Amino acid sequence: MPDRRSGRDRRRSPPHDQPHRRQAARHFSERAERKPDPQDWLPRLENLGLRFEELRVPARDDSGSGKGFEDAAASLGLARAHTAALSIGLAQAALEDAIAYARERVQFGEPISNFQAIRFKIATMATEVEAARQLMYHVCTELDAGRPARAEISMVKYFASEMSERVTSEALQIFGGAGYTTLHAVERHWRDTRLTKIFEGTSEIQQRIIADVLLGKPVKPS
Confidence bin at 212 (pLDDT 50/70/90): very high
pLDDT the model gives residue 57:
73
- 35 sits in which H/E element: strand 33-36
- 111 sits in which H/E element: strand 110-111
Confidence bin at 80 (pLDDT 50/70/90): very high
For residues 3 and 10, give the distance between their C-alpha atoms in angstroms, rounded to a whole number: 6
Residue-wise pLDDT for 101-116, tens only, equals 999 999 999 999 999 9
pLDDT at 22 over 60: no
Residues paired with residue 35 on neighbouring β-strands, in sequence order: 49
- The pair phi, psi for residue 184, each rounded to 5°, is -125, 145
Query: Which runs of consecutive H residues, i.e. helices, occur in 105-185?
Result: 116-144, 150-175
152 catalytic, yes or no?
no
- Contacts with 178 (C-beta within 8 Å, 6 or more apart), sequence order: 184
For residues 210 and 93, give the distance between their C-alpha atoms in angstroms, rounded to a whole number: 28
**Mean pLDDT for all residues in the chain:** 83
Q: Please pick, among 54, 162, 200, 204, the residue that the annotation labels catalytic.
A: 200
